[in-house]
Amino acid sequence: MTKADGPKGAILQRDKKTYAIVPRIPAGVISRDHLRALTEVVEKYDIPIVKITSGQRIALVGMPEEQILPIYEDLGMNEGKAVELCLHYVQACPGTEVCKFGVQDSLGFGIRLEEIFSSIEMPAKFKVGVSGCPFLCAESLVRDLGLIGKKSGWTLVFGGNSGRRVRQADVLAEDMDEKQTIALARKCIEYYVANAKPRERTGAFVDRIGIEDLKKGVL
């Protein structure tokens, strides 16, 4: 997949003719109606590739430009962000909803966080991981913002990256309730937005300014 040059929210493919889209699926939870709509759209438009992504989304791949808008209309789903400078997704594990190891409601909290932060413009793409226990199934330590559930509350980490240059996120605070966690997450994002260079991911940002300066700015 390459940079989007066509319809909003679509990614131009290697053939320079077709596109991919990733409809918004908050925290990877999809309704029956949307699942049914996805199946119908794949058949109606003969979409050649349907791929579950690492961000718990479903990518539809291989459509010509003129199909993108009709597909979204048929889906009844919002556009997922794939190339824009903003929150791309919140990845969340099942947490206490279904997992026997879960100690915090990562699924519900992840959906809430996506609603709160999805409209904020960022210096670069931004990804969140919310794990309901220290097993870290939502890969929280390699996300720009990571939350880790423990019996004593939430741990917040910042500046992780799973890309070419892997970086483990730094711990900023522990044992917080949801209200405290949201407040600190907001401070971290606001500080990052105000001080990062254009297209500078959080990991590079923290490396540049130093973790102590980040803590002074948000704690």
pLDDT band at 18 (very low <50, low <70, confident <90, very high): very high
Average pLDDT over residues 34-50: 97
What integer pLDDT is reported at residue 210 of this predicted model?
A: 98
pLDDT band at 8 (very low <50, low <70, confident <90, very high): confident
| 215 C-beta neighbours (distance < 10 Å), count | 13
Angstrom distance (rounded) from CA 10 to CA 64: 10
129, pLDDT greater than 90:
yes
**Relative orientation angle of helices 178-195 and 202-209, to the nearest 10 degrees:** 80
pLDDT digits (tens, 9 = 90+) for 154-174: 999 999 999 889 999 999 999
Nearest-CA neighbor of 109 among 155, 54, 171, 59? 155
What integer pLDDT is reported at residue 6 of this predicted model?
A: 63
Domain 87-218 part of CATH 3.40.50.300: no
Q: Which fold has domain 10-75?
A: Alpha-Beta Plaits (3.30.70)
117, pLDDT greater than 90:
yes
Average pLDDT over residues 35-61: 96
pLDDT digits (tens, 9 = 90+) for 98-116: 999 999 999 999 999 999 9
What integer pLDDT is reported at residue 20 of this predicted model?
A: 96
Domain layout of the chain by residue ranges: 10-75, 87-218
Residue tagged 């330590």 (tokens): 141
**Whole-number average pLDDT of the chain:** 95
